[in-house]
């Protein structure tokens, strides 16, 4: 049986700071990957891009990690299998929701997941207030408009639930399985589930090299690097802190859009960025003060 690595870093201030920095890097990589993957939408579509992302994650992680699958017990396998499902449903739910109701409403719907984890798992009123502030900031940045497409809303909520499950399951996998073997195994299972989809996409329509390159880049930036970074971070920070810090994703999305795509941000959107940054700083200060008192 593979020995699990204890999550001892979460009690040390330096460990928390390192975990927070890892999450920020993960968020930046994730948003750069999303921007890259969107370039392949006209050819591959959202489903095709997600399929390629999962395949790339498996192709990179499995040979690199070489997980000892035969040594895993059922207690280690079941969170891996559920994590594999959450990988796929999280990405597919978000992209399908964007296709129906647009980015403005789909993104804040998805972020209800990690913010809900932050609220539910928080034992301090101040941490809960930080999570609420981050949620308000997400809404301000994306400026969602009313939609009667209940299917699209449902898909966004599926993505939110999947992200919440991803946070909790990744933490469980990190505790029970050494290194990133569990993440690699989950990526392999998820890729196997999406392999038929990828085959259908590539057979049913001509695919150009640029679209494939963009999808592969998205797989590395938005799947491989964030999966590993999140696993490392979840061993150093509690689930509620992870949920609040993940709200930095729309901040990077707004900045990348303004700098790279020359999109103009409204005053309310910049105010939302300020709220999210303040919430992140606030929750770090609260956790740090609590650690010193403990």
Q: Residue 124: inside a domain, yes or no? A: yes
Query: What 8-state DSSP symbol labels residue 287?
Result: H
Q: Which helix (H) or strand (E) holds 117?
A: helix 112-121
> Alpha-carbon distance 161 to 117, whole Å?
10
Listed residue (246, 2, 282) closest to 124, CA to CA: 282
Q: Residue 86: inside a domain, yes or no? A: yes
> Alpha-carbon distance 237 to 12, whole Å?
9
Q: Residue 189: inside a domain, yes or no? A: yes
Q: Which helix (H) or strand (E) holds 37?
A: helix 13-38
Q: Helix 74-101 vs helix 41-65: angle between axes, to the nearest 10 degrees?
A: 160
- Residue 41: which domain range? 9-293
Q: Residue 119: inside a domain, yes or no? A: yes
Give whole-number Cα distances, 92 to 111, 215, 218, in Å. 15, 14, 14
Q: Which residues contact 289 (CB under 8 A, 6 or more apart)?
A: none
Q: Which residues contact 248 (CB under 8 A, 6 or more apart)?
A: 23, 24, 27, 276, 277, 280
Listed residue (223, 246, 222) closest to 234, CA to CA: 246
Structure confidence at residue 261 (pLDDT): 61
Q: Which residue has better confidence, 83 or 170?
A: 83
Is 90 exceeded by the pLDDT of residue 213? yes
Q: Residue 4: inside a domain, yes or no? A: no
Q: Residue 13: inside a domain, yes or no? A: yes
> Alpha-carbon distance 199 to 219, whole Å?
17
Q: Residue 3: inside a domain, yes or no? A: no
Tokens 């449903």 belong to residue: 89
The band of 38, judged by pLDDT with boundaries at 50, 70 and 90, is confident
> Alpha-carbon distance 272 to 133, whole Å?
9
**Residue 25 near residue 250 (C-beta atoms within 8 A):** no
Burial of 109 by CB count in 10 Å (0-12 exposed, 13-18 middle, 19+ buried)? Answer: buried
In the chain, % of residues over pLDDT 70: 85
Q: Give pLDDT tens digits for 241-282.
A: 776 777 788 888 878 777 766 667 778 888 888 888 788 777
Structure confidence at residue 232 (pLDDT): 82
- Both tokens of 146, joined, read 């009313």
pTM: 0.75
Q: Which residues contact 102 (CB under 8 A, 6 or more apart)?
A: 145, 147
| pLDDT (mean) for 181-206 | 87
Q: Residue 1: inside a domain, yes or no? A: no
In the chain, % of residues over pLDDT 90: 15
Q: Count how many domains the chain has.
A: 1
């Amino acid at each position: 049986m593979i020995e699990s690595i204890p999550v001892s870093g979460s009690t040390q201030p330096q460990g928390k700071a390192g975990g927070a920095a890892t999450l920020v890097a993960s968020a930046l990589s994730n948003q750069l990957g999303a921007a890259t993957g969107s370039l392949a939408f006209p050819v591959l579509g959202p489903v095709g891009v997600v399929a390629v992302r999962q395949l790339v994650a498996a192709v990179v992680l499995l040979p690199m990690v070489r997980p000892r699958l035969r040594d895993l017990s059922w207690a280690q396998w079941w969170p891996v299998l559920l994590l594999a499902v959450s990988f796929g449903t999280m990405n597919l739910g978000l992209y399908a929701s964007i296709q129906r109701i647009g980015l403005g409403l789909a993104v804040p719907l998805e972020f209800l997941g990690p913010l809900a984890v932050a609220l539910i798992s928080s034992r301090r009123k101040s941490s809960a207030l930080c999570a609420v502030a981050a949620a308000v900031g997400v809404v301000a940045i994306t400026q969602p408009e009313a939609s009667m497409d209940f299917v699209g809303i449902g898909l966004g909520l599926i993505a939110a639930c999947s992200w919440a499950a991803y946070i909790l399951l990744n933490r469980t996998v990190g505790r029970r399985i050494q290194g990133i073997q569990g993440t690699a195994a989950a990526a392999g299972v998820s890729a196997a589930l999406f392999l038929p989809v990828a085959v259908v996409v590539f057979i049913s329509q001509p695919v150009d090299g640029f679209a494939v390159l963009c999808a592969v880049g998205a797989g590395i930036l938005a799947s491989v690097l964030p999966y590993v970074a999140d696993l490392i971070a979840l061993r150093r920070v509690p689930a509620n802190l992870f949920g609040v810090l993940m709200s930095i994703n729309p901040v990077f999305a707004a900045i990348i859009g303004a700098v790279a795509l020359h999109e103009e941000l409204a005053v309310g959107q910049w105010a939302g960025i300020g709220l999210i940054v303040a919430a992140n700083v606030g929750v770090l200060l609260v956790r740090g003060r609590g650690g010193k008192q403990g």
